[in-house]
Amino acid sequence: MAAKNQPFLSDIQTIRRRAREHMQRGAVTDSYTLDRDVVLKLLNEALATELVCVLRYKAHFYLASGINAKSVAAEFLEHANEEQGHADQIAERITQLDGTPNFEPDGLSTRSHAEFVVPDDLAGMIEENLVAERIAIDSYREIINYVGDRDTTTKRMLEGILAVEEEHAEDMKTLMEDFGKKGEPAKPSPAKAAGKRG
């Protein structure tokens, strides 16, 4: 037991002894009080969500067309790269918690909170990305609330990712507003679409 004037909750001998127990668990010590299986499941779902977002943004980047496509596509690519960075952070944290990051393609879309939707038009792409960012924002807030101060490393990581997702949502909202002002139709006119096919 710690002495009254000692600043730590545990004496140094206890900390040293505990550090030698279960060393194969790496960073996960006995003071980790969360249900690790639940945290790993949530983080693997977040990983799947980020991977689906990378794929969606990449698809939109390559398929974007129209008058305003170049600047919007550049935004899609920037977001894809940032989402990949999030996926990497999450995968690393999963391994730190002695788990296995799930990169299995089978079931990726069912593990993900966001959907992989590729509309035919640029306005639809912007809208789908905004919806996905809003889903990610709510998901991350819930995970952060669950983790709380019982896993401050995961909490800080997710708070950083959440801040970027909020920026992404704001970017998509701004693009949607600007896009509407430029007067480009949300969907190609039937005559244009027929001309494309012919």
Q: Read off the pTM.
A: 0.78
**Half-sphere exposure (Cβ direction) of 113: Cα atoms closer than 13 Å:** 20
Q: Token pair of 140, please? A: 């991350």
pLDDT value for 195: 43
DSSP 34: S
Domains defined along the chain, listed by start: 33-183 (1.20.1260.10)
What is the rounded CA–CA span in Å between residue 52 and residue 153? 24
Task: Report phi then psi at 86, rounded to 5.
Answer: -65, -45
Q: Which of 135, 142, 169, 134 is nearest to 158 (CA)?
A: 142
Residue 128 has pLDDT above 90, yes or no: yes
Average of per-residue pLDDT values in the chain? 83
pLDDT value for 12: 54
pLDDT value for 196: 42
DSSP 152: H
What is the rounded CA–CA span in Å between residue 166 and residue 172? 10
| pLDDT confidence band for 101 (50 / 70 / 90) | very high
